[in-house]
């Protein structure tokens, strides 16, 4: 991963995953609020329209996560030649070896998600547990890598260590979500954590490595003196700015979706019971219109619940 394009690729993968969670998580949360339902977190979100058309195909998010982890794993495994031993039988590419374990855990988690969706017998919540372990091991690997790397410059050290701030809360949020499957807090934490991981990987690519179009771009960026402590302090401030920026982006996205949701209906909906049947009531402006439960509220209001056979 010690190159511009490798960091950029990793960052974009995490950003795409965060945006997917953000759109579908916010959409589902707004739907639950308007209908008076309790929000139930999910480890992956399904595109309802896609699932309605292709019910037999696995969810897009699972396939995407497996593909992204596989690309990263193969890139680290084959970087600088095949194998992890030199002609003398000594270890080489030890950093790539660690990166392979990181991508390998994410790959394994995606496979467990897939076989769970295929209804194979797997331990309950194993996909949640593996996802949490993947992020926590990512944090530990970064910490140990920078702790024992004698030839690392201060700027490179701090850039990697700062990622622990987002990796650990994301893993812990997944553990809490595994145990307490209700509420929106844990989903928001992993949205923010994964978005910050991705945006900082992109920032690291431009700080640490040359970015003039050469591939893979493993030479240090000449614009940044990696021994200068002023640059180290700037990196710390920049990471805080990334967190604040991503919170603002998430809030603006939520407000936009809520506006579109209400604008598209011109209505606010709440649930009520009518002789044992769940129905929707228009509560905006004192109206009393009543709708059946299967009303098509909008494209933002599609149900994510999986069908049971």
Q: Which residue has the tokens 């011109």?
A: 266
- 272 domain-assigned: no
Q: Domain for residue 193, yes or no?
A: yes
d(CA 126, CA 109): 8
81-135 residue pLDDT tens? 777 777 777 888 778 888 899 999 999 999 999 999 888 888 989 999 999 999 9
- Decide: pTM greater than 0.85: no
In a domain, 305, yes or no: no
pLDDT tens-digit series, residues 144-169: 876 666 677 889 889 999 999 999 99
Crossing angle of helices 154-161 and 126-148, in 10° steps, is 160
Task: Evaluate whether residue 309 is within a structural domain.
Answer: no
> For the chain, what is the largest distance between any 2 Cα atoms, rounded to a whole number of angstroms?
81
How far apart CA 165 and CA 185 sit, in angstroms, is: 17
Residue 14 lies in a domain: yes
Number of separate domains in the chain:
1
Q: Strand, coil or helix: what is 15?
A: helix
CB-CB contact of 100 with 90 (8 Å): no
**Residue 285, domain member (yes or no):** no
Residue 35 sits in which domain range? 4-265
User: What are 235-278's pLDDT values in tens digits?
Assistant: 999 999 999 999 999 999 999 988 887 777 554 555 455 555 54
């Amino acid at each position: 991963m010690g190159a511009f394009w490798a960091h950029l690729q990793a960052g974009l993968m995490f950003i795409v995953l965060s945006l997917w969670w953000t759109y579908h998580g916010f959409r589902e949360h707004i739907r639950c609020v308007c209908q008076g339902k309790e929000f139930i977190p999910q480890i992956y979100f399904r595109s309802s329209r896609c699932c309605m058309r292709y019910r037999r195909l696995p969810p897009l998010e699972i396939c995407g996560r497996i593909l992204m982890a596989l690309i990263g794993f193969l890139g680290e495994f084959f970087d600088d030649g095949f194998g992890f031993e030199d002609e003398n039988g000594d270890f080489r590419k030890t950093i790539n070896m660690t990166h392979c374990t990181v991508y390998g855990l994410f790959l394994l988690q995606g496979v467990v998600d897939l076989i769970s969706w295929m209804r194979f017998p797997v331990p309950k919540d194993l996909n949640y547990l593996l996802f949490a372990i993947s992020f926590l091991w990512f944090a530990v690997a970064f910490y140990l890598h920078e702790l024992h790397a004698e030839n690392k410059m201060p700027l490179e050290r701090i850039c990697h260590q700062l990622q622990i701030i987002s990796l650990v809360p994301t893993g812990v949020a997944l553990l809490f979500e595994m145990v307490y499957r209700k509420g929106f807090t844990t989903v928001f934490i992993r949205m923010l954590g994964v978005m910050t991981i991705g945006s900082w990987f992109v920032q690291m690519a431009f700080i640490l490595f040359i970015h003039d179009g050469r591939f893979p771009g493993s030479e240090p960026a000449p614009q940044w003196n990696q021994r200068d402590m002023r640059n180290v302090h700037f990196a710390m401030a920049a990471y805080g700015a990334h967190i604040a920026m991503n919170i603002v982006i998430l809030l603006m996205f939520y407000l936009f979706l809520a506006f579109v949701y209400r604008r598209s209906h011109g209505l606010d909906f709440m649930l009520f019971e009518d002789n044992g049947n769940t129905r929707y009531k228009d509560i905006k402006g004192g109206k009393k219109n009543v709708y059946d439960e299967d009303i098509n509220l909008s494209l933002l209001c599609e149900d994510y619940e999986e069908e049971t056979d």
